[in-house]
């Protein structure tokens, strides 16, 4: 499986005896049952709770996962993971914040549903990959500006160089 860049959405239903499942992947790839089990554990580690971030090595890539819940009226909330496979040298902190921004924006504007995640996974993936805005119905998720802002913040904090000389 070529896993250099892909997006996965996993779900742990809020009902009793629910099991972890991959509900969406983009680009779509065929993987064996054993690979799917391994991927599920990398994207949604046991003991995960809302707000957790995970970074795991997977094959020649890194899997970044953000855990969140989708509220359900009258039932327990479903727990989800949105996971992005990236090159191991990519800026992990940048993509963690981008994943959170996408989910928070969907949630704030009442667009955070399983159906919207599944039906718009390609747009979400392409928006993140191309650092471009995502439009879902009337909702615009301003990723291009967020990428610029975060790159500036992260470069300021991470790449400070000492100027001057030692005597």
Where does the pLDDT of residue 28 fall: very low under 50, low under 70, confident under 90, or very high at 90 and above?
A: confident
Quick one: tokens of 96? 């963690």
* Cα separation values, 28 from 118, 121, 147, Å: 12, 10, 25
Mean pLDDT of all residues in 37-45 = 90
Q: Which burial class, exposed, middle or buried, applies to 125 when counting CB atoms under 10 A from its CB (0-12, 13-18, 19+)?
A: buried
Nearest 5°: CA angle at 9, between 63 and 101? 75
CA dist 66 and 80 (Å) reads 8
**Residue 163 pLDDT:** 43
Give phi and psi for 159, each to the nearest 5: -115, 35
Number of H helices, E strands in the chain: 5, 7
Quick one: tokens of 57? 């090595």
Report the range of poorest mean pLDDT among 83-92, 105-114, 154-163: 154-163
CA dist 53 and 154 (Å) reads 18
CATH number attached to the domain at 6-158: 3.30.450
Domain ranges of the chain: 6-158
**Residue 60 pLDDT:** 85
Q: pLDDT tens digit string along 153-163?
A: 988 444 444 44
Angle, nearest 10°, between helix axes 92-108 and 143-158? 140
Q: Provide the 10 A C-beta neighbour count for residue 64.
A: 23
């Amino acid at each position: 499986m070529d896993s250099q860049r892909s997006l996965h959405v996993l779900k742990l239903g809020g009902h009793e005896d629910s099991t972890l499942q991959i509900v969406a992947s983009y680009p779509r790839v065929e993987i064996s049952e054993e690979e799917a089990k391994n991927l599920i554990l990398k994207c949604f580690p046991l003991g995960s709770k809302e707000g957790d971030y995970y970074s795991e090595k997977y094959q020649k890539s890194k899997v970044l996962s953000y855990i969140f819940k989708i509220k359900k009226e009258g039932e327990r909330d479903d727990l989800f993971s949105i996971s992005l496979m990236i090159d191991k040298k990519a800026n992990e902190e940048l993509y963690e914040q981008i994943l959170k921004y996408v989910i928070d924006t969907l949630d704030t504007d009442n667009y955070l549903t399983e159906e919207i995640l599944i039906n718009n996974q390609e747009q979400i993936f392409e928006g993140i990959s191309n650092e471009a805005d995502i439009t879902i119905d009337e909702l615009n998720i301003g990723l291009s500006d967020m990428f610029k802002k975060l790159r500036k913040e992260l470069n300021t904090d991470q790449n400070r160089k000492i100027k001057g000389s030692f005597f």
